[in-house]
Amino acid sequence: MQGLFLAFTLLTGAAVGWLGWRLLAQDRALARQRKVEQLEAAADRVTGALYRQMAEFEELLLTGGKRGLPEGAVLLRSQSQQIAVSPPDGLLYLPVLPAPPTIPDGLFTNAEALEFQRTDFLAAASALRRLAASGDRFVRAEALARLARNWKKAGRPEAALAAYAQLSTLGATMVDGLPAHLVALEGRCSLFHELRNAGDLEREAGILHNRLMSGEWSLVKSSYEFQVAQARRWLRRTPEAEGGGKEALSAAADLLWQAWQRGSPPKGRTIFGGDRAVLAAWSSDGEEWTAVLAPALAFDAALLEAGSFEAALIDDEGRRLIGRINKPARLRVERSQASTKLPWTVLLTSRDDGTAELAGRHRLLGGGLAMLVALLAAAGFIVSRAVSKEMAVAQLQTDFVAAVSHEFRSPLASISQIAELLDADRWPTPDHRRRGQEILTRETARLRRLVEGLLDFARMEAGTAGYRLAPLDGAEMVRGVVNEFQASANGSQIELSIATGLPHIRGDREALSRALWNLLENAVKYSAPPARVWVETSARDGVLAIRVRDEGTGIPGGEQAQIFNKFYRGSEAKARGVKGTGLGLAMVRHIVEGHGGVIRVESEPGRGSTFTLILPGGEPA
Ligand code: ADP
C-alpha cells in the first residue's frame, strides 16, 4: 500500500517536474525567438540606412552637388591633378595642392646673398622692402616673409612684426606651399616665443590652432600635422577645439585620392573604418574624377537604435571595417553582400539571447514547482501512513476476533463433551468422573476469566475502570496469587522469593492480582513445558517491585515497545499458534498506571523475559 502511494507521489512529482521543465524550455525558446526578431529588424534598419546614404551619394555624383550637399558631406572634383573641395573648408588638409605660382628666376638672388653669405640682414631687408611693394601678390608675399625673417635676425622685432602684419593681409596667397596668413601667424608665434612673451604667444598660437582646425587653409597633410603639433607645443596643452569629423574625412579623402592615383576602378564605393567611419563613393568620366565623402552617420544612428546589439560591416576578406562584434556572441544575424547588393556584409551580434532576463522568473517558477513536488510528497507520505495505520488496526481487530473465538471454542468443546458424559452417566471409573469434574471446574473458570477479562478491557476502554485503592500488603497479595496459580498450572514450577520488610502499598487487590496472574500466564504460555518461572518481590526507597522472570521464547527488541498495545500479538506467538487475544499486557499496563506505577520489560529472544511491576509504596510493614 505504502509502495503504491510512493509510486503515485513519485509519478505525480515527475509529471509536474516534466511539465515545468517543458514550460521553461518553451519560454526560453520564445524569448530567444523574440530577440532574433529584434536583431533581424535592427539588421534591416542598418542595411536600410546604408542604402539610403549610398543612394544619396549616387545622386550627388550625378548632379555634382549642384543641389547642395548634405550636412557634413564633402565633394571632391579633380581635373588634371587639381582638386576642388566643396564646401571649401570641408577638409583640414588636401590630398594635393594647386601648382605653386611661378616667380621670376633670380628675383631674390641678391637678397639671399646679403642674408646668407654676408649676413648683412639690414641690407637684405632694404633690398626686400622694394620687392615687398611689388604688384604681383605672390612676389609680395614671398618678399614680406623674407623681410620679416631678416628683421628678426637683425634684432628688430617691431619691424618683423609689422612685416608679418602686412603678410597676413595677403590671406590665402601661397608662400612656399603655405598660405600667407598661416606663415605670418607662425612667424609671429615663433618671435613671441623667442622674446618670451607668453601672453602674446598664447593668443597668437590660439588663433593659429583654431584656424588650422577650421579647415579654411589649403595644406597638405604633412604641413597640417607639423603646424598643429607646433601650435599645441606653444599652447602647452591640447585645446578643446578639435577638427571633429573633418579629421576623419580628410584622412579618408587622402587615402581615396592615393588609391585613385594608383588606379582604382572608374566607379566605386568604400568605407573607411576607425572611431568615426567615413563612407565614400566616386566616379569618373575619364576627364573628371568626382568623389563624395561623408561620416557614416546613418549607420551610427541605426547602430544606436539597435540597442543592446553590436553591428559591424565586414569586407570580402572577412575583415571588420567598422562597428564592433560581440565576443562571445550568442546570437548572430547576417546580411550578406549577395542579399544586400552592398559591397559589405552587415553583421549583427548579441551577447544576450533574451534568456538572461528570464532567469529571475525561472528561479521563481522552479522554486514553486519544487515546493509543489515537496508538498505532494509530504501529503502522499502522511496519507500513506494514516492508511497503513488504519489497515494495521483493522488487521489487529480481525486477528482479535479470530483469537477470541478460538479461546472460547476449546473450553466450550471440553464442557460440552463432559456434559454429554454426565447426561449419559457413563463413567468407566469413579476416578474418571472426578477428573471430568475437575476439567469442568477448570474450563468454566477459564471461560469466566476470559469473559471477565473482556469485560474489564471494555470498561478500561470506556474509561470506567475505577480502581478501589486500599492499604494492601504486597507480599501477601503476591503469595496468594502465586499459590492459586501454582494449583491450577499443571506441571509448571513457580519459584517465589519475597524480601523482608516490604512496604505496604495502596492498591486494588483484585486488579493487581489480575495483572500478576496475566504475567504468570504469559510466562508459562511462552515457555516450553514444563515451564519454570521465578517471582521476586523487593523494595527500594519505598517502592515495591514485583518481578516475573521466565526462560521462555523471549521477545525481539523491535517488538518490546509494542507488546503493551491492545490487540498486539508477537510474531513468535502467532507463528507458534500460542493462544491469546493480545489484550493481557495492555490491561496490565492500564492497571499499573492506574496505581501510579510503571511496567518494564527486559528480554532476549531465546533466553527468556523479565517483566517488572513497579508500584509506589506507602509505609514499610
Ligand atoms: P497475548 O494474548 O498474545 O499473550 P499479551 O498482551 O499478554 O497478549 O502479550 C502480547 C505479546 O507479548 C504476546 O503475543 C507475546 O508475543 C509477547 N509476550 C508477552 N509475555 C511474554 C513472555 N513472558 N515471553 C515471551 N513473549 C511474551
Q: Show Cβ contacts of residue 541 under 8 Å, excluding neighbours closer than 6 positions.
A: none
**Domain-ending residue, one of 192, 220, 242:** 242
| Same-domain status, 397 and 438 | yes
Find the distance separating the first CA and the last CA of the chain, reported in whole Å.
Answer: 57
Distance of CA 75 to the CA centre of its chain: 55
Neighbours of 378 (CB within 10 A): 11
Whether residue 601 is found in the same domain as residue 511: yes
Answer whether 497's CB lies under 8 Å from 534's CB. Answer: yes
Task: Name the maximum alpha-carbon separation found in the chain.
Answer: 185
Residue 252 belongs to some domain of the structure: no
Whole-angstrom Cα distance, residue 572 to residue 9?
35
Total structural domains within the chain: 3
Ligand 1 within 6 A of 298 CB?
no
> Which residues, including other chains, have CB under 8 Å from residue 427's CB and lie 6 or more apart?
421, 433, 436
- Name the closest-CA residue to atom 15, ligand 1: 570
Phi and psi at residue 160, in whole multiples of 5°? -60, -45
- Give the DSSP letter of residue 94: B
Closest ligand 1 atom, CA of 608?
24
- Domain assignment present for 187: yes
* Per-residue pLDDT at 585: 95
Task: Compute the distance from residue 1 Cα to the ligand 1 centre, in Å.
Answer: 28
CA 585, chain centre distance (Å): 60
Per DSSP, the three-state class of 255 is: helix
Per the domain annotation, does 551 fall within a domain? yes
Q: Determine, yes or no, domain membership for 237.
A: yes
Compute, in angstroms, the gap from residue 606 CA to the centroid of ligand 1: 14
Instruction: Please indicate, yes or no, whether residues 155 and 228 belong to a single structural domain of this protein.
Output: yes
- Which structural domain, as residue segments, surrounds residue 420? 359-454
Give bridge partners of residue 537 from the DSSP assignment.
498, 546
Question: Cell match 495505520: residue?
Answer: 389
**Dihedrals phi, psi of 264, to nearest 5 degrees:** -95, 165
Please state whether beta strands 532-540 and 493-498 pair in parallel, antiparallel, or not at all (unpaired): parallel
Is cis: bond before 430, omega within 30 of 0?
Answer: no
Ligand 1 centroid – CA 531 distance (Å): 15
531 lines ligand 1 (CB under 6 A): no
Note whether 420 and 551 are same-domain residues.
Answer: no
Question: 300: closest CA among 121, 53, 591?
Answer: 53
Q: What is the pLDDT of residue 338?
A: 82
Protein residue whose Cα sits closest to atom 17 of ligand 1: 570
Cell of 500: 523482608
Give, using CA atoms, the residue closest to atom 19 of ligand 1: 522
Decide if 366 is inside a domain: yes
pTM above 0.85, yes or no: no
Burial of 74 (0-12, 13-18, 19+ CB in 10 A): buried
Cα–Cα distance for residue pair 348/354, rounded to 1 Å: 15
C-alpha 138/C-alpha 144 separation (Å) is 10
Which residue stretches of the chain have pLDDT < 50?
620-621
